[in-house]
Amino acid sequence: MTRHSKRSLPRAAAASTALTLAALAGCVPAEAPEGVFEQDAVLTVDRSPACCVDLPPPARPEVIDPAILRERRFGEAPSLAAKVRAGQLPPVAERLPDNPLVVTPIHEIGTYGGTLRRSNSADVGRENVLERTLSENLLGWERPIPQTIEPNLAEDYEFQDDGRTVVFRLRRGLRWSDGHPFTADDILFWYEDMQLNDDARVYPFFSPNWTVDGEPLRMEKVDGHTLRISSHKPLGRIREILTDDIIAYPKHILAPLHPRYNPEATYADFRRATTAAQLVYEPGIPRLSAWVPTEWRKGQRVVYERNPYYWKIDTAGNQLPYADRLVFEIIPNSEIVLFKFINGEIDLIARIAQGEAYPTLKAYEQHRPFCVYYAPPVPQDSLNFNWDAPDPRQRKAFRNRDVRIALSHAINRAEISAIAMHGLMLPSGYALGPTSPYHNPDQFYRYAEYDPDLARHLLDKAGYTDRNGDGWRQYPDGGRFEITIDVESDKRSTTIPELVREHWEAVGVRTHLNIAHSSIVFQRRLNARFEVLDRGFPHDIEVQAEHFGIMGANFPFWHPRADREGPEWLHEATAELRTAFATIDPDERRAHFERVRDLHNKHIPMIGIGAMRETWAASDRLGNVPCEAYLDGIYRGWERPLLHEQIFIRDATPPR
């Protein structure tokens, strides 16, 4: 299914369409269009990775020989073959499902062995990095270029009852990494016993993604390999939801810890045993992923080894993954990560546009065995106002559209791109980026022109003026109008919020930064105690609908009282979302989602900063690294599009 100093931004808008479309094709024009920002001109330089120039044609079969599947003549890693000979494992033909998923390698059939080495800034609190790398769902986006949603754990699916029911048929013979059969019972255990059960669920709220009109979707087991999902309305976005990270956990391992199945168990103990960290890192919990955890040294490293029952093969019939091990070193200091990468101790490094990583890597690229890669521009940072801020004066200010527009015009995005992003950011407003299927180039720069005079005028008009001449604006009651921006110290660079603070203070709004660990910032967000939150940009209207509408109690997070106090336009956006989710007609869905997009772009509930060309680097010791990939959060970020399971180590040596 195809998914289904003051500068003038308006002068750049006409050129932006061609520029962003060229970026979507993985390249950009050789010369900058007239009228584009200086930093935009940097984006027009040819940035084809050096290691992707003059590549020979792919040396792998495009499709698998049907005889391999019919005769079940599969290859396997030498380490697993040795265990088969020793009687420790069944033959590979018995370990693979009846219909294994066939992956076409990027360039060539890889070789087995070696260790794929990565880093993570933390283990606890950064589980999503591992989930996006490893997790499997019923469906998945085509990789590395996401043109379609494809079957994954599910072999196929069928809509019934005018879209109100969808039936998924799982691949027969799928097994967890410990060899235990994977069935519909594992999915129902995750859904009914870990999500719908308020006492067992780790997260405070049940995800609105799994509701229609506030009612949870129904899941039923037809048989061990068939799952039925239904609702009272058509399931318009079920396919997109089922490309996310999680759909099942091993019931045979976790049920004994659950009070429903073990009267001696407690929900408190169950929640402690099923935190994100425990489920991702703890050895002994089977997975469906290419590698499974075998060692977790908290705060130091996590080691994953190949899953002998992994259910994907390449087009030559070899069981994936190619690499024996996947190791994540826990390194909070980005400079140390950079040093280790340049020194050849880490194979992949991501999100290098901020800080000194990018110019350093470019300086070394010609002399060291690695390559810098570029992806199409994706919106990165957003400044989220708390429409229900604890201070009622601030709450009133944030709900004032003129105030939000003023604070957007006060931001010098050209300066941010030059200083924080090395010119790799396309300045933009609160708008969906070029990789979104709902991108509108005409909206991309709305309210993003750097115009501090206009910002001052709008703030004056709204009643926030400097009455006592101290240089700072006041609320109408005379109290100082000041703002605190929450920043996650372990996840995000502080450079952008530091520059925003300067820009806002230049128009008279006193601004502070609350730089704290993500766990602290998360609790402030959860309890609506923040004022402005610096966080990633919401990319996907369909899957991240809770950011765009009133999809349940306490949603959206930036306006938890929206069900009672929300503006008319947000209620309209919510109605459009609910209507879109109740149809499977792609044209109708698109019309409704575009209306949601238009409402948000016009009313600017939060501020966008710009779309960054995601940059990352890979060691030359890796084979099958894609030259082009969409790294948008819609498609599971940087991790999933790389297809780690088909990356191999050239001249692999036994792990140290």
Confidence of residue 652 (pLDDT cuts 50, 70, 90): low
CATH at residue 355: 3.40.190.10
Q: Rounded to an integer, what distance in angstroms lies between the CA atom of residue 527 and that of residue 557?
A: 9
Hey, how many other C-beta atoms are within 10 angstroms of the C-beta on 336? 14
pLDDT at 471 over 60: yes
Same domain, yes or no, for 527 and 562? yes
Residue 251 falls inside a structural domain? yes
CATH at residue 398: 3.10.105.10
Q: What is the pLDDT of residues 68-80, one digit of tens each?
A: 999 999 999 999 9
Residue 37 falls inside a structural domain? no
Return the ∠ at Cα 72 (arms to 67 and 74), rounded to 5°: 105
Same domain, yes or no, for 140 and 269? yes
Q: Tell me if the bond preceding 181 is cis, omega within 30° of 0.
A: no
Same domain, yes or no, for 302 and 393? no
* Residue bearing the bigger pLDDT, 27 or 202: 202
**Predicted local confidence at residue 629, as pLDDT:** 81
Enter the tokens of residue 584: 């499977």
Residue 111 falls inside a structural domain? yes
Confidence of residue 6 (pLDDT cuts 50, 70, 90): very low
| Nearby residues of 602 by Cβ (< 8 Å), 6 or more positions away | 446, 569
The percentage of the chain sitting over the pLDDT mark of 70, rounded to a whole number, equals: 91
Q: What is the pLDDT of residues 78-87, one digit of tens each?
A: 999 999 999 9
**Predicted local confidence at residue 354, as pLDDT:** 67
**Predicted local confidence at residue 296, as pLDDT:** 97
pLDDT at 628 over 90: no
Task: Say if CB 552 and CB 559 are below 8 A apart.
Answer: no
Same domain, yes or no, for 209 and 264? yes
Q: Rounded to an integer, what distance in angstroms lies between the CA atom of residue 291 and that of residue 326?
A: 7
**What is this structure's pTM?**
0.82
Q: What is the pLDDT of residues 103-159, one digit of tens each?
A: 999 999 999 999 999 999 889 888 888 888 998 999 999 888 888 999 999 999 999
Q: Is the dihedral of CA 127, 129, 133, 137 positive or negative?
A: positive
Same domain, yes or no, for 112 and 161? no
Residue 283 falls inside a structural domain? no
Say whether 528 sits in a helix, a strand or coil: coil
Same domain, yes or no, for 391 and 527? yes
Residue 249 falls inside a structural domain? yes
Residue 2 falls inside a structural domain? no
DSSP string, 66-79: HHHHHHT--B--HH
| Nearby residues of 619 by Cβ (< 8 Å), 6 or more positions away | 341, 344, 346, 347, 348, 369, 370
Same domain, yes or no, for 539 and 557? yes
Same domain, yes or no, for 251 and 356? no
Same domain, yes or no, for 501 and 566? yes
Same domain, yes or no, for 293 and 369? yes
pLDDT at 472 over 90: yes
Residue 34 falls inside a structural domain? no
Q: Rounded to an integer, what distance in angstroms lies between the CA atom of residue 222 and that of residue 218?
A: 12
**Predicted local confidence at residue 57, as pLDDT:** 86
**Predicted local confidence at residue 514, as pLDDT:** 97
Same domain, yes or no, for 403 and 511? yes
- Domain range holding 579? 381-412+450-608
Same domain, yes or no, for 96 and 117? yes
* Residue bearing the bigger pLDDT, 222 or 354: 222
Task: Work out how many domains the chain is built from and give that number.
Answer: 3
* Residue bearing the bigger pLDDT, 536 or 34: 536
Average pLDDT over the chain reads 89
Confidence of residue 552 (pLDDT cuts 50, 70, 90): confident
Q: Rounded to an integer, what distance in angstroms lies between the CA atom of residue 150 and that of residue 148?
A: 6
**Residues facing residue 273 across a β-bridge:** none
CATH at residue 224: 3.90.76.10
Spell out the SS3 assignment of 206-246.
CCHHHEECCEECEEEEEECCEEEEECCCCCCCHHHHCCCCC
Residue 529 falls inside a structural domain? yes
pLDDT at 14 over 80: no
Q: Rounded to an integer, what distance in angstroms lies between the CA atom of residue 652 and that of residue 529?
A: 51
Final residue before a domain boundary, out of 275, 306, 333: 275
Q: Rounded to an integer, what distance in angstroms lies between the CA atom of residue 467 and that of residue 459?
A: 13
Q: What is the pLDDT of residues 290-327, one digit of tens each?
A: 999 999 999 999 999 999 999 999 999 999 999 999 99
Final residue before a domain boundary, out of 275, 302, 323: 275
**Predicted local confidence at residue 565, as pLDDT:** 96
